[in-house]
Structure 1
Amino acid sequence: MRRFLTFDDVGLVPKFNKIVSRLHTDIKTQIGKDSFKSPFIPANMDSVIGPRLAQICKERGAPIIFHRFAPIEEQVKWVKEFPEAYMSLGVQESANNLEALYETGCRRFCIDIAHGHSQVVIDTIKKIKDFDRENQVIAGNVCTYEGVMDLAKAGADIVKVGVGPGAACITRMMTGFGVPQFSAIRECSSAKHDLLYGKSIKIELIADGGIKHPRDAVLALAAGADAVMMGSIFARTFESAAPKREVDGKTFGRYRGQASSEFMNEYFGDTKKRQAEGVAFDVEITKSAVDVFEEYEGGLRSGLTYSGTNNLDNFRKNTEIFESTGNFMIESSYRN
């Protein structure tokens, strides 16, 4: 039986540091053909990403990936406003929406379903690449070496990693399937390495889900991810697309998984034949998206100095990871 680990099961060993200040670190990352100043991405969910949050991403130099659960007319508007954004496609409506988005100028697409290591995803990747070989494609979600290999060989430029770790996801509780996110990233990173050095195929990985604190994002990058996607973290911001309401002077947003009964009833109608693998719940809105970027980028920059490295490439190569007991997180957390 194999052993898999979550973010809470591991830590990083500090190394000798010659960097004068964390401000001297470089957290740029490469996603497809594009370089980004920030490796943090709001999840492509209907209660997370919208034009307001996308504008913050643009200003911060972070990737933008819009969700697909809006009328195609609205999605076309997003492409016109944010031509650098990735637009999400489902495997069912991909043909019609692909053409409409492409004609508007979109050349970046994201295909992600709950179980991305599937023939329908492979076929959709090929369809997008056959439409125009220059189209950039994010595909997922997967959590295994083989999943990355198959999607990359089909033509995916970037693979999204994560089956079941999201705050609003209950796939593992409903089905028993999924791999703890830290180990999933490590497994997928091995495939990324073997593709590059064995077949000269270069891909990037986006770690999607399981992030509770900046340390988790730092660990995801140390494990081999090129970028980190976060849903509930960004849903708690004033600029998120989550519907807002005021209660006793506090602001709350409605965060929901795309496989929740609440979302499926609204989007698909009768869900009797669909088993929910997500939930919906209220989150308190306490900060701006700028605050989130600064918090997570600050944690990452500090992390680089503790590792004695000044950029993400060196960080991944030189960081020492250890497995811990449960007491490590108790000792590491705030207490009074």
Structure 2
Amino acid sequence: MRIYDDIQLDYCDVLLRPKRSTLASRSEVIVEREYTFKWCPRSLTATGIVAANMATTGTFEIAKEMQKLRLMSALHKHYTAQELLQFLKDNAQAFGNNDLLFVSSGVSDADYEKLKQVMASKLINNICVDVANGYSPYLINYIRKIRKDFPQALIMAGNVVTGDMCEDLILNGADIVKVGIGPGSVCTTRKLTGVGRPQFSTVIECADAAHGVGGMICADGGCTVPGDVCKSLCAGADFVMLGGLLAGHTESGGEMCTKSFQTGEVEMIDDKTCAMRIEEKQYKKFYGMSSEYAQDKHYGGMKKYRASEGKVVEIPFRGPIEHTLLAILGGIRSCMTYIGAKRLKDMPKCATFYRVNRQLNTIFGND
């Protein structure tokens, strides 16, 4: 048994230090970046925000909105091959290509057969291999297999939280390693298993390790506000994957429901009768992909040998996702002007952090 007693930090434990800057306006910063990869021979120009490959956020509808702003999406695993192929064909006609999309895959034989069918179409060349425990030897073997079969592909794989495993995945064929175990808003892995690591420290270590062997990382989970995305990019993340921030919108998956509340106000029904005013609010379901709800919905039920590692929440309906995406991009631009980073790639070079005990004044709520 061993204990690492150095301090481990989350996004809420730090704030960025502002610096003297020559940037006079947010409009001067460049939020797109040209990415080149260790194994994939293609380059890619994008802002490194990725919609998570959850059933509620890795949807076709969100993908369309993300692409309009040069943002990326990892389509969830539960679309059929036929559904994916039809969407990819239509999407390529609308946007010219599918370069900002990932097709997601597990590591089973059935996942591989579906992946082969989709990749054979030549409509997409980006793969996201997604397993809960990236330390399994099955993941390394699967990465080797698909790198051999699809040498031109851009491969993202995870999830892990340590530098050594980032290096292993990259050296065995991954271009991008997805990092984060348990930081997601509807993930209960830490609660159920006791396994995980604070996400800010995860990003710092994994980015350093990945960059050292020519790879990149995607920080997956833990961003609750646009400022967390900025901190992640400043900590060294090349890509940041978002779930909860993109849930609850018109384009998000999940069932819509309506709830009634008493407002505390009284309204007159007639001259002699009054009643409490009732207000209706709309909500959308958002759930972790290892939750019992997801297992029942997508896998035919929870297997007896496993437990639920996710939860189901109902998020107040947020309307169209465009407003949220613009707020995230606006936060990144503003952050860049505060720290003096003209290019997205410069953010880690320009970043200095304060360790803090509190980052927000919540006297009037958390909004």
Q: Name the one with the larger helix percent.
A: 1
Aligned to 2:23: 19
Cα distance, 1:244 vs. partner? 2.0
Is residue 6 from structure 1 mapped to residue 10 from structure 2 by the alignment? yes
Is residue 98 from structure 1 mapped to residue 115 from structure 2 by the alignment? yes
AA matched with 1:102? M
Distance in 1 (alpha carbons) for counterparts of 2:43 and 2:319: 29
Is residue 315 from structure 1 mapped to residue 347 from structure 2 by the alignment? yes
Aligned to 2:217: 205
- SS of residue in 2 equivalent to 1:104: coil
**Number of aligned residues:** 327
Aligned to 1:89: 105
* 5+ residue gaps, structure 1: 196-201
Aligned to 2:178: 160
TM-score, length-normalised on structure 1? 0.92
Distance in 2 (alpha carbons) for counterparts of 1:39 and 1:55: 16
AA matched with 2:343? N
Is residue 273 from structure 1 mapped to residue 305 from structure 2 by the alignment? yes
Q: Is the 8 A contact 2:255 2:284 kept in 1?
A: yes
Distance in 2 (alpha carbons) for counterparts of 1:96 and 1:184: 33
Q: 1:30 to 1:45 in 2, by over 3 A?
A: farther
Is residue 228 from structure 1 mapped to residue 240 from structure 2 by the alignment? yes
Cα distance, 1:77 vs. partner? 2.1
AA matched with 1:131? D
Within the candidate set 59, 65, 76, 1:56 is matched to: 65
Aligned to 1:28: 32
1:27-76 per-residue CA deviation (whole Å, 9 max, x = no partner) reads 11345544344322211111112121111011111112101122222222
1:170-218 per-residue CA deviation (whole Å, 9 max, x = no partner) reads 10111111110000000101102321xxxxxx22211111111111111
Aligned to 1:136: 154
Distance in 1 (alpha carbons) for counterparts of 2:237 and 2:90: 28
Aligned to 1:283: 315
Distance in 2 (alpha carbons) for counterparts of 1:81 and 1:246: 33
Q: Is the 8 A contact 1:11 1:321 kept in 2?
A: yes
Is residue 305 from structure 1 mapped to residue 337 from structure 2 by the alignment? yes
Distance in 2 (alpha carbons) for counterparts of 1:86 and 1:292: 21
Q: Percent of aligned pairs with the same residue?
A: 29
Within the candidate set 316, 324, 345, 1:292 is matched to: 324
Q: Which has the larger radius of gyration?
A: 2
Cα distance, 1:330 vs. partner? 4.3
Q: Root-mean-square deviation (CA), in Å? A: 1.7
Within the candidate set 73, 98, 108, 2:82 is matched to: 73
Is residue 260 from structure 1 mapped to residue 291 from structure 2 by the alignment? yes
Q: Is the 8 A contact 1:207 1:220 kept in 2?
A: yes
AA matched with 1:314? D
Distance in 1 (alpha carbons) for counterparts of 2:58 and 2:104: 12
Distance in 2 (alpha carbons) for counterparts of 1:152 and 1:191: 10
1:145-172 per-residue CA deviation (whole Å, 9 max, x = no partner) reads 0121010011101111111000110101
Q: Is the 8 A contact 1:253 1:284 kept in 2?
A: yes
AA matched with 1:114? A
Within the candidate set 256, 260, 273, 1:244 is matched to: 256
Distance in 1 (alpha carbons) for counterparts of 2:319 and 2:306: 35
Q: 1:334 to 1:27 in 2, by over 3 A?
A: farther
Aligned to 2:94: none
Within the candidate set 122, 146, 156, 2:164 is matched to: 146
Deviates more, 1:251-260 or 1:31-40: 31-40
Q: Is the 8 A contact 1:159 1:205 kept in 2?
A: yes
Q: 1:2 to 1:170 in 2, by over 3 A?
A: same
Distance in 1 (alpha carbons) for counterparts of 2:210 and 2:240: 16
Q: Is the 8 A contact 1:117 1:151 kept in 2?
A: no
Cα distance, 1:252 vs. partner? 1.4
- SS of residue in 2 equivalent to 1:329: coil
Q: 1:236 to 1:36 in 2, by over 3 A?
A: farther
AA matched with 2:339? S
Distance in 2 (alpha carbons) for counterparts of 1:172 and 1:287: 31
Within the candidate set 116, 121, 127, 2:134 is matched to: 116
Cα distance, 1:250 vs. partner? 2.6
Q: Is the 8 A contact 2:105 2:130 kept in 1?
A: yes
